[in-house]
Amino acid sequence: MEDVIDQLRELNEPVPVPLELPDEELLVEIEEQLLISIPSEFREFLLKVSDVVYGRLEPVTVSDPQSHTYLPEVAAVAWSMGLPRELIPICADGDDYYAVAQDGEVVLWADGELTEETWDSVWTWARDVWLDT
């Protein structure tokens, strides 16, 4: 995990208005909006690297409600398209979504259904998908 964090920090692209990292209090507010708890590794991901901008994929963020990557909005759209409600989207890729289950496993939801592609954690997903795209 620390290696992935270091690599993301190193590759972070400068942007005109950088995002801020959330605090625990904000994540509690987000959980209240979503009506679902955020799994611990995803919580850590949001706290440590949700301000990183890198590559073509744009993982969800929680600091700016006006952002197109704002988790409650991304989740509402994903759930309305059929993503199972017990999954929390971590990244939209066109009409497909990478989402995290309550046990921390990340799945790919594509073409309206869950695929066989899974990653054991958000950190594995970040290394194998986000950093590799």
In this predicted model, what pLDDT tens digit does every residue of 21-74 receive, in sequence order?
999 999 999 999 999 999 999 999 999 999 999 999 999 999 999 999 999 999
Q: What is the full DSSP assignment across the chain?
A: -HHHHHHHHHHPPP-SSPPPPP-HHHHHHHHHHHTSPPPHHHHHHHHHHTT---SS-EE-BSS-TTSTTBHHHHHHHHHHTT--TT-EEEEEETTEEEEE-TTS-EEEEETTEEEEEEESSHHHHIIIIITT-
**Where residue 116 falls among pLDDT bands split at 50, 70, 90?**
very high
- In the chain, the domains with their CATH numbers are 2-130 (3.40.1580.10)
- Predicted TM-score of the model (pTM): 0.95
pLDDT given for residue 95 in this prediction: 94
